Amino acid sequence: MSRATNAIGHLRKYLSAVCHFLTNSEISISMGLCRPDEHPRGCACSGIIEVSGDEMASLLAAIAAEEAARAGKMPDDKAAIAQMFEAYRRLRELGWQPINASPQDGSSFQAIEIGSTGIFDAYYVGDWPDGDFFVDDGTEADIGHPVMFRRYPEDEARHRAKMAAAAAHYRAELEAADAAATAP
């Protein structure tokens, strides 16, 4: 196999992955390298877009520039992990929680996954921890691997009220137990 044929094969795989990754975004491209039978159901790229050699060179240069910029911001594992931790801290500040604290009663919530920029509807099916998270991308729900979740505002309000009522009930039980223990 020639180096050119091998490079085209790698480029086809890369751009196919880009096409599939961008399926849920507002921007979708296919580059004429994805075959129609490779598109996932609901793929927004809707076929093949012809690009000239100059356009392809421009796209590849833009990809290389983005990779170089990322390498400049995160030159090693330690820097990349530090940036990931900063993103995690900010998401926590925005109300996101670790997925293991999510509702496991079948109710819906928002979820995010590593490797995606989307916020998806999700729910848990089965008995914890042996069930599955289902993530809905707007076309279908499929088993997913979310890492963080956030309740919808109305569900969060109900959850907070339920937790406040449970805390008040618990305090009342403790006070009653203390009173019984100190009574003559």
Domains of the chain, by residue range, sit at 3-73, 97-182
E strands, 23-153, in order: 97-98, 109-112, 120-125, 132-136, 141-144, 148-150
Rg (CA), the chain: 24
pLDDT by position in tens, the chain (length 184): 444 444 454 555 555 555 444 443 333 344 444 455 555 555 555 555 667 788 888 888 899 999 999 999 999 999 999 999 999 999 999 999 999 999 999 999 999 999 899 999 999 999 989 999 999 988 889 999 999 999 999 998 899 999 999 999 999 999 999 988 888 8
Predicted structure pTM score? 0.63
